[in-house]
Homo-oligomer: A and B are copies of this chain.
Amino acid sequence: MRITSETCTDGIREQLFTIGDIPGVLWTPAEGTGPRPLVLIGHGGGQHKKGWEVVSRAFPYVTSCGFAVAAIDAPGTGDRPEHPEIRRLVALLQEHEAAGEPFRSFPEWPALNETVAAQLIPDWQTTLDALQKLDSVGDSQPVGYYGLSQGGEMGIRLVAAEPRITAAVLGLVGSDWLIDIAARITIPVEFVLQWDDEGAPRDSVMKLFDALGSAEKTLHANPGGHFRIPSFEIDSSIRFFARHLSSS
């Protein structure tokens, strides 16, 4: 792991890093040392590790809870190199979208998600290995995951595969092909649904929520489309992680 830059603003230390070819960012409280709970944030499709959606969650997790928060670029985004296969699949999706076809019927969705996941899930695990070697994170503290939309699609796969993650906020995803994977998840989950989501229709999202194997799972549904999550859901996720990651 190589730290490529470090800045401190408003009580938050931001460290950009690379682990091999994985570009990432770690936010920790500027004051204080020693191990602390960690939240991994998976960004949405077409976004990157420092997009507004990531930062708007990461900063309060650091300042309100004292957590460490990390994000990495998904393949083909941010500081990653071009990924020809992902680029090809995204271009095909955009053609369907421009033609006004319904999102859920795009035949390239499963292939795109498989391609991203094949690289991103192992990369998250490599990143977690490296972060847990840092004094500011350590390997004795709980780990959470936050990700909606493509970050939810990837999160369900990651959480099902990674026993170090013990609480997760997921949602805005209703992929049929995740049902069996979701059933293997047993950690506490807060699952987010947008009532009028054109990309992840409510019935499909509820089917995934229903499939989760977790004894504690809570569904939060709000009116509006895919991108209209109310800001009080950020506050809710803070309390969710505070409840599940702060006790030890």
Residues facing B in A165-203 (CB within 8 A) are 193, 195
Known: A195-B210, A210-B195. A232 touches B221 (CB 8 A): no
Known: A210-B195, A239-B235. A218 touches B215 (CB 8 A): no
A56–chain B nearest beta-carbon distance, Å: 18
Contact B243 A218 (CB under 8 A): no
By size class, the interface of chain A is 10 to 19
Give Cα A222–Cα B240 distance, bound, in whole angstroms: 14
Contact B210 A218 (CB under 8 A): no
Asked if A51 is an interface residue, CB under 8 A from chain B, the answer is no
Contact A217 B222 (CB under 8 A): yes
Asked if A45 is an interface residue, CB under 8 A from chain B, the answer is no
Residues of A within 8 A of B (CB): 193, 195, 209-210, 215-223, 230, 232, 235-236, 239, 243
